Chain A
Amino acid sequence: MSWVTEARRRWAGKRVRRLEDPGMLTGATRYVTDVQLPRMLELAFARSHHPHARITGIDLAPARAVPGVHAVLGPSDMVQVHPTVDILELEGTLKTPRATLPGDRVRYVGEPVAAVIAEDRYAAEDGADVVLVALEPLDPAEPLHEQVPNGRYYQQTVARGDVDAAFAVAEHVVRRRLAVQRVVTSAIETCGVVADYDAASGELTMFMSTQMPHLSRAAIAHALDLPISRIRVVCPAMGGAFGGKEVVLPEYLCAAVAAMRLRRPVRWVEDRSEALTAGAHGKEAEAELEAAFTRDGRLLAMRSRFLSDTGAYSSGIGAYVEFMVAANTVPGLYRLPAYAYDTSGELTNKAPLSPFRGVGMTTSQTAREVLLDDAARALGIDRMELRRRNLVDDGPWRTVLGEDYEPGSWRSAFERALELIDYEGFLPRQAAARDRGQLLGLGISPFVEAAALGSAGGAGGIPGSSHDNATLSIDLSGAITVALPTFSHGQGHHTTAAQLVADMFAVDPDQIRVLDGDTARTPFGMGTFGSRSGVYMAGTVERAGRLVRDKLLQVAELLLEAAPEDLEFVDGAIGVRGVPDRRIPLVALAGAAHFAPQVRAHLGDPTLTASAFFDPPRPTHSNGAIAATVEVDAGTGGVSIERIVVVEDCGTMVNPMIVDGQIRGGVAQGIGLALLERYVYDDAGQPQTTTLAEYLIPRATDLPPIEIEHIETPSRNGPGGIKGMAEGPASATPAAVICAVFDAIAPHASGVEELPLRPETIARALGG
């Protein structure tokens, strides 16, 4: 029996209020920065002020003399720590191992060079200020890493179908270049760690921000040459991540070494200027797309070239996810008979690139949709009609790259978004506005999002196994606890997992305890990223729950002397169907399993705990379409968004309120990318946007209301019909907004190739 069959009865599918909220609303929820341990010291870093220089000397003595400073660690204290290397294996990659504190040279502004441990953060920063580092600037042309002489550490070219022949016969060829800017993930909680070493047990506990507790645990063990069993990773709560908390930072390893050496807990909390200067940057990529069309607007082939400037190292999860996913998601939902890409990453003197929500997909989606609009204008075909001629019906569909999409609502989501935004009514309104000198535009962005790739992979061009476990147990009080290796940091997993379990055992969600974010309390699994958690949670929880249910049913069978098919879970009990007075509550069943002689004689193992494994056979594919209308100020180039409409189909929804939350947040980030956010280095490699006064995150007044409608096409691949979502809307929103702006300023859009669309960019394009 699947939870789905019962889910319809009570909790799954409902807008259940979140179990996480009361703690957060009263200040009780503890984040890493709130962890305070006895005798805890604080850590601050001395960082490079130069983008590329040889380190000719480091003098730590002045820092050691600062009152309150306990220790200062430099590169020579870190030599025994293994360098961190990207964990994804793509053949032909030139690896760039990263020393925890580099001894030879610095490669970007903000790279840590020394760690100062003091009584409090104030003293630690005093110390960091007087660490003396002698730097000899290096020629900017000199390679950052000797093993990567031209800076290009990975390149892949792929061709499927006869691309050249298609271009040779094409009646129209349209090209589009678009540079997606560098942005910063910018969770409101920065990164942080509290390292606590127990000398008696030899266990190192790392309270730290991470989306993947178990993988981080393994990475820390490897770096420090400790058995994994001696490392415990705990994430008490996390204030957002968006892909930016997947990497074990050098700062975390410094805190670990300091705690082990000083035998005192050591805390480091990234401050905002560190986060902006040297934290989790994302996205930066140049895209060039070329498409071959017939005269009537049918796509014959595409070529793409992506080049991503991924900063000084490809470390952690691997910066190539950005340009690999970009190249592999170009086909989207369109019939594309032939496609070739050339995608590569280069190393430069910038902070290392991290994954960021909608990794790669944002770039491909934006470039493709902008190109389709360009093509429609060039061919004299309505932009929506051009898409209709090329959109695939609702699936299933095998792309030119061999990726198998499960069915969705591709055309219907597209058409519904056009209805909701009133495309037909917009056209005369736009024309009338133009006559008054007012610039209105409309954009649309139909999207598909692969998630929960599983060990079979098959999406996005990224290798790597992906599977999870969950443990479900019932204690002697009859209470249910679920332990998950994923880690909720805003996504409300505690609530959705509780909804699923509540339906399996006929109890209320608030009676279920959900554990995550602690490697000592949860089974192994990959963590939370790539919109995977809902699918894995449902798969593992259902399997573990079924094992425990079966055992409870055995106990009930013995106590009620009823046939198994007559038993049902009802109101926190198991009862005989149709006989309300023959029920045994879970607490009595749990007790009986362990202690009742008539049960013990027959049951064998009484353990009401089960762990179960899930590895989805194929990815899920959610889809949708986003439409936006904007007004562009012809004088200033300022953009205001009139409306933004999202039609989303992520299959069966466990909690539509939480799904809506993911959509809204993603759309907000997408608008930020389209119009506001950009991380700027000057020509010398110096960061220019190091505070939130210069780096612009959308504020409430920057955003329109976000209108959402759902279609539910249950997944064939995801358990219970669930499809992973949460990145599709984020990655599709920029295209909708940008296409709308370009529509408003057409024919002046073709020269605009840089994002975000800042007022000055638009004004310049308009000839202002």
Chain B
Amino acid sequence: MRTIRVTVNGTVHELAVPPRMLLADLLREGLGLTGTKIGCAMGACGACTVLLDGEPVRSCLLFAVQASGRSVRTVEDLAPEGELHPLARALQEHHGLQCGYCTPGMLMALVPLVESGGPLDPEAAREAIAGNLCRCTGYEGIVEAVVEASRR
């Protein structure tokens, strides 16, 4: 076991973890933050995307020990007061989710872009979500939501 010190959604945790434990498993199993989903465990689908020091990363491709000394943000932190994040609201408006399983990863992959970038056109939005797989929506509603949220 290794001892790590990691900040998750603003709370500092000191934890003993097995060296081989994935960050996704630490978040889900260790901390009960099951909003982060696992879709492929090899970095291909993006469902497990979280922010590591503000940057989107695949939490299935990182070991928990690699997050030591760093700050992780998960989907649960997007709406601490229950008020939906603007991108989440746009996803609802544009029917950018159906089963909802890829949605937390979509949100975490796109939130930094939407918050810090300029307005996006549909082509750029399509490029931006190309790393996250969705099997339900055909991506159309997600593209619309990203465009709208980027212009707010």
Contacts and interface: CB of A to CB of B under 8 A. Distances in A.
Contacts of B78: 25-27
Given A17-B93, A692-B42, A699-B130, A27 B34 contact: yes
A615 to B, nearest CB: 28
A600 interface: no
B18 interface: yes
Interface residues on B, range: 35 or more
A76 interface: no
A26 B75 contact: yes
B76 A240 contact: no
Contact of A22 (B47, B75, B84): B84
Given A122-B18, A188-B45, A700-B139, A27 B99 contact: no
A751 to B, nearest CB: 31
Interface in A119-176: 120-122
Contact of A27 (B29, B91, B104, B129): B104
A684 interface: no
A691 B92 contact: no
A691 B35 contact: no
B101 A31 contact: yes
B136 A490 contact: yes
Interface in B134-148: 134-143
A295 interface: no
B150 interface: no
B75 to A, nearest CB: 4
B16 interface: no
Contacts of B21: 122
A28 B102 CA distance: 13
A701 B97 contact: no
A591 interface: no
A498 B20 CA distance: 46
Nearest to A705: B140
B101 A239 contact: yes
B122 to A, nearest CB: 7
B91 A25 contact: yes
Interface stretch (A554-562, A625-633, A659-667): A659-667
A477 interface: no
Interface string B85-120: 100100111010111111110010000000000000
Contacts of B100: 20-21, 23-25, 29, 237, 239, 490
A354 to B, nearest CB: 15
B99 to A, nearest CB: 4
Given A36-B29, A238-B99, A661-B137, A693 B75 contact: no
B143 A187 contact: no
Nearest to A26: B79
A664 B42 contact: no
B92 to A, nearest CB: 4
A699 B37 CA distance: 18
B137 A665 contact: yes
A620 to B, nearest CB: 22
Task: State the majority secondary structure of interface residues on B.
Answer: loop
A674 to B, nearest CB: 14
Name the residue in B84, B129, B138 with the highest tally of chain A Cβ atoms < 10 Å from its Cβ: B138
Interface residues on A, range: 35 or more
Contacts of A29: 100
Interface string A494-520: 000000000000000000000000000
Interface in A519-560: none
B36 interface: yes
A34 interface: yes
A24 B103 contact: yes
A514 to B, nearest CB: 16
Interface in A648-707: 657-658, 660-661, 664-669, 691-693, 697-701, 703, 705-706
A442 to B, nearest CB: 21
B12 interface: no
B99 A21 contact: no
A228 to B, nearest CB: 28
B4 interface: no
Contacts of A31: 37, 101
B33 interface: yes
Given A26-B84, A27-B74, A491 B98 contact: yes
Nearest to B142: A700
B137 A692 contact: no
A705 B142 CA distance: 11
B52 interface: no
A459 to B, nearest CB: 26
B93 A188 contact: no
Nearest to A697: B133
Name the residue in A24, A25, A491, A697 with the highest tally of chain B Cβ atoms < 10 Å from its Cβ: A25
A305 interface: no
Contacts of B134: 188, 700
Nearest to B128: A700
Contacts of A699: 130-131, 133, 139
A663 B114 CA distance: 27
Contacts of B36: 27
A394 interface: no
A207 interface: no
Contact of B122 (A17, A18, A237, A705): A705
A701 B131 CA distance: 9
A365 B93 CA distance: 34
Interface string A473-493: 000000000000000011110
A98 interface: no
B95 A18 contact: yes
Contacts of A187: 99, 101, 135
A189 interface: yes
B140 A188 contact: no
11 contacts: A23-B100, A25-B100, A25-B107, A27-B78, A492-B98, A669-B135, A691-B40, A692-B45, A693-B44, A698-B138, A700-B142
Nearest 8 Cβ contacts at the A-B interface: A27-B35, A239-B101, A24-B100, A668-B138, A490-B99, A664-B138, A490-B98, A692-B44
Given A665-B138, A693-B42, A700-B127, 14 more contacts: A22-B92, A31-B37, A187-B101, A187-B135, A188-B39, A240-B136, A490-B100, A490-B136, A660-B95, A666-B138, A668-B135, A698-B138, A700-B126, A700-B134
